[in-house]
Chain A
Amino acid sequence: MSQQIAISLKPDNQFLSFVQSHTGESITACYQCGKCSAGCPTAYTMDITPRRIMRGIQLGLKDELLDSSAIWLCVSCQTCSLRCPREIDIAKVIESLRQLSISEGRRPAQKDIAILYSAFMQQVRFFGRIYEAGFGLMYNLRSLHIFNNMLRLPSLFSRGKLKLKPVRKGASEVKQIAARVKELERKKG
């Protein structure tokens, strides 16, 4: 559902320069043709569509964008980036907004999608590889959708698509990588 956003021009637009330097993409090049929104598979359910996201950055509407559901509903299909006549990697820009929203500790407007990603990374750190049954269970517990997909379980197990026992491989390597990444990001600020 699309909704109006209040436009308040901010003369000192640090947000625009931050996004531009962080992504290396030229946001000011966007001339609002709307090809990104037209091809976006999830635009129909976004509060701020990709074209408006780009305009929002130009206008410095940081809070509106970082608290939007749109940055969580982008599934990184890259259609916008492929078709942009100004050759802006829009998917990369939206991804950087999502990462910024997380690093600022904001409440995600699509809480369950945020939990999904976090539960996934938790599995990777613990097992080194994804243990799909455990991932589903962890998602259900953390999102409080306890019975999500429960009825599908028998058909998944009977087809051998889910395993009862996890394989743990490379977990210590992943933990080390995660620790180093954290440290490097802390230094970078």
Chain B
Amino acid sequence: MTPAESESEKKVGARTYSYYPGCSLHSTGAEFDVSARLVCQKLGIDLRELEDWICCGASAAHSTDHLMSLALPAHTLKLAEAKGLPLAVPCAMCFSRLRFTLHEIKDKNTLDLVNRAIGTELGEPVAVESMLQVLADESISLPITKPLNDLKVACYYGCLLARPPEVVGIDDAENPQIMDRLMERLGAETIDWGLKTSCCGAGVAFPRLDIVLKLSHRILSLAQRSGADCIAVACPMCQANLDMYQKDMTAKFKQKTELPVLYFTQLMGLALGLSPKELLLDKHFTDPLPVLREKEPT
């Protein structure tokens, strides 16, 4: 350990979080991980990845086995508890599973079962925040060097950041605004549209691609008709569903479907002066660069 590193180990600032990237962010959602880390670095937010985190179990666990779906996140909560820091979670699915677990273990019997399942006792509940909640905090000043002027952004929250409101803690479950306000702070114009929290088809793309194509196409096509230049998301599953299958949708619905789908952290990064390359904007299926260039201040 270098002296600088041991120094940062000791100093726990007001904005220091344990960090739980989750499986997607190490793979298909790498852009979310990279852009979130870079943006946090720019804003003086210290993220410390939990070393031995495990999968949250996602839809598969809670669809098939209730106790397992609480025990997997509980193990990660226990790891976070030992660090004594709040936990920042970019992935909406992981965030939802962790918050659900915290919610359910308020019941004594459930807590007892979960403790027995993980073979240890959970103590004081860890504060779990989505990366959107962490970064939308308006007391954080944003040193914007390249405002997103004239960029029309359709903020898409999906299911897991909005529902159930008492579990996830959203400002408005049917028409949330926190991402919209953040995008406006970056200079962007946000679109008022009706499918912000509609389901994109979730995890059933392998067995039922038809469902994902239908639901995601509905979202993309309304965003397009509402005049959006791009969609901003905060979930790796939504990003994949909305971005990866646009060619399939164009073919299936005989309607040109082409709209860049970016993580909100990538848009923040751009406004904070980070380059498209370091924010991995070239990893998307529908290239966001043409529309971004068009809107760039000259």
Interface residues of A (CB under 8 A from B): 41-42, 44-45, 73, 75-79, 81-82, 89, 95-96, 98-99, 102, 110, 112-113, 115-118, 120-121, 124, 128-130, 132, 136, 139, 143, 145, 148-149, 152, 155-156, 159-163, 167, 169-170, 173-174, 176-178, 180-181, 184-185
A181 with B117: in contact, given A77-B163, A113-B208, A170-B53 (CB under 8 Å)? Answer: yes
A76 near B68 with CB under 8 A, answer no
Instruction: Tell me the nearest residue of chain B to A120, going by C-beta.
Output: B60
Return B48 CB to nearest CB of chain A, in Å. Answer: 16
B16 touches A (CB below 8 Å): no
Q: Give the complex CA separation of A180 and B67 in angstroms.
A: 10
Instruction: Give the residue name and chain of the A residue nearest to B285 (CB).
Output: A155
Please give the residue numbers on chain B whose beta carbons come within 8 Å of chain A beta carbons, in ascending order: 23-24, 26-28, 30, 52-55, 57-68, 71-72, 75, 113, 116-119, 159, 163-165, 173-174, 198-199, 201-204, 206-208, 210-211, 214-215, 244, 283, 285
Would A184 and B54 count as touching, CB distance under 8 A? no
Contact A79 B27, beta carbon cutoff 8 Å: no
Known: A121-B64, A167-B26. A41 touches B198 (CB 8 A): yes
The answer to whether B67 touches A76, judged by C-beta atoms less than 8 angstroms apart, is no
Q: Looking at the complex, which one of B118, B159, B207, B244 makes contact with A77 (CB distance below 8 Å)?
A: B159
User: Which residues from B are CB-within-8-Å of A162?
Assistant: 27-28
A83's nearest neighbour on chain B, judged by CB, is B174
A37–B39 Cα distance when bound, in Å, is 41
Complex: A159 Cα to B30 Cα, angstroms: 10
State A143–B206 Cα separation when bound (angstroms).
Answer: 10
| B119 interface neighbour in A136, A155, A169, A180, Cβ under 8 Å | A180
CB of A116 within 8 A of CB of B211, answer no
Residues of B within 8 A of A81 (CB): 163-164
With a cutoff of 8 Å between Cβ atoms, the chain B residues found around residue A145 in the complex are 206
Given A42-B215, A132-B24, 11 new contacts (CB under 8 A) = A73-B208, A75-B199, A75-B203, A75-B211, A76-B63, A78-B159, A118-B60, A124-B54, A139-B207, A159-B283, A180-B117
Give bound CA distance, A163 to B26, whole Å: 9
User: Which of A73, A78, A95, A152 is B164 in contact with, Cβ under 8 Å?
Assistant: A78
Among residues of B, the one whose C-beta sits closest to the C-beta of A127 is B55
Q: Chain A contacts of B68 at CB under 8 A? A: 121, 177-178, 181
CA distance A117 to B64 in the complex (A): 7
What residues of chain B lie closer than 8 Å to A124, measured between beta carbons? 54-55, 57, 60-61, 72
B63 partner, pick from A117, A143, A177, beta carbons under 8 A: A117
Which of A42, A82, A167, A174 contacts B72 (CB under 8 A)?
A: A174
Q: Nearest-CB distance from B232 to chain A (Å)?
A: 19
Chain A residues within 8 Å of B52, by CB: 169-170, 173
Cβ of A161 and Cβ of B30 under 8 Å apart? yes
Contacts of B30 in A (CB 8 A): 160-161
Known: A41-B215, A132-B23. A170 touches B202 (CB 8 A): no
A44 to B218, CA, bound (A): 14
- Please tell me if the beta carbons of A120 and B202 are within 8 angstroms of each other in the complex: no
Taking a contact as CB atoms under 8 Å apart, the answer to whether B67 and A95 are in contact is no
A76, B62: Cβ atoms under 8 Å? yes
A170/B54 in contact, CB under 8 A: yes
Separation of A163 and B23 alpha carbons in the complex (Å): 12
Chain B residue contacts of A156, Cβ below 8 A: 28
Q: Given A41-B215, A113-B208, A184–B67 Cβ distance below 8 Å?
A: yes
